[in-house]
Amino acid sequence: MKRFMAMLNSNKNKDPPPTKLLDLAGELCQDLQNSSSSLEKLVGAVMGCKHKMYFLTNIHIVRACVFVHIHNGQHDAACRLLEHCKAEEKDELVQLWHEIHYQRAMEKHHMDFLTPLQKFRCRKRNPPPISLCPEGLKKRNYSDEVRQQLHRFAAEVTTHPNKKQREGLARDMNLQPTQVYNWFANYRRRQKS
């Protein structure tokens, strides 16, 4: 930590900062993840320097900054940090985005954990910004053609296909048999209500 602080001070006017400094910060963030006071000091130094955007290209530093912000109840600051960071690991950034909102929901409702349904609702209410998902959110819905085929099969053949029928449908529509099984289970549930 002392070595990092000394390097940070000696390179404060270099633009961009040396790669060695950025790598050292990333390693320290990994090493200090279980020591919240030291990690907080490190994050404070990184966020306080004028070259913080260079540091926020490293996923380990971004993760540490988000952790410290969440720990201090600064959820909005953590979200802003994710929106503007330049780390390449977009999937991990989206996961961190969701973690921030899960934590916020748990604190708001005085809960220790969220059920999968609560997490799903939290993700729906707080979609990641376009900067984290430039190609948009992945949709889990099937194409119109696949849905029409499944609806046709349910109407003309059965709403309770056996294993062989499910495997045939899955093969024809390029799905997994479990996806077909779940679609029919959900279809029957929707029909009841």
| % of the chain surpassing 70 pLDDT | 96
Secondary structure (3-state) at 32 = coil
CB 96 within 8 A of CB 82: yes
Tell me which of 111, 132, 153 is where a domain ends. Answer: 132
Q: Rounded to an integer, what distance in angstroms lies between the CA atom of residue 175 and that of residue 181?
A: 10
| % of the chain surpassing 90 pLDDT | 40
CB 100 within 8 A of CB 70: yes
115 with 93, same domain: the answer is yes
139 domain residue, yes or no: no
168 with 92, same domain: the answer is no
Q: Rounded to an integer, what distance in angstroms lies between the CA atom of residue 55 and that of residue 119?
A: 30
56 with 151, same domain: the answer is no
Range of the domain at 179: 144-192
79 with 121, same domain: the answer is yes
| Mean pLDDT for all residues in the chain | 88
Planar angle of CA 8, 74, 89, nearest 5 degrees: 65
Q: Rounded to an integer, what distance in angstroms lies between the CA atom of residue 78 and that of residue 104?
A: 11
89 with 155, same domain: the answer is no
Write phi, then psi, for 191 (nearest 5 degrees). -65, -35
CA nearest neighbour of 176 among 134, 146, 145: 146
| Domain count for the chain | 2
138 domain residue, yes or no: no
Q: What CATH number did the domain enclosing 155 receive?
A: 1.10.10.60
| Predicted pLDDT at 140 | 64
- Better-predicted residue by pLDDT, 193 or 184: 184
pLDDT (mean) for 143-147:
87
184 with 119, same domain: the answer is no
pTM of model > 0.75: no
Tell me which of 132, 159, 176 is where a domain ends. Answer: 132
pLDDT in tens, 26-71: 898 888 888 888 888 888 888 888 888 888 898 999 999 999 998 8
| Predicted pLDDT at 167 | 93
| Predicted pLDDT at 158 | 92
100 domain residue, yes or no: yes
pLDDT in tens, 112-128: 999 999 999 999 999 99
pLDDT in tens, 155-187: 999 999 999 999 999 999 888 899 999 999 989
Residue 104 has pLDDT above 80, yes or no: yes
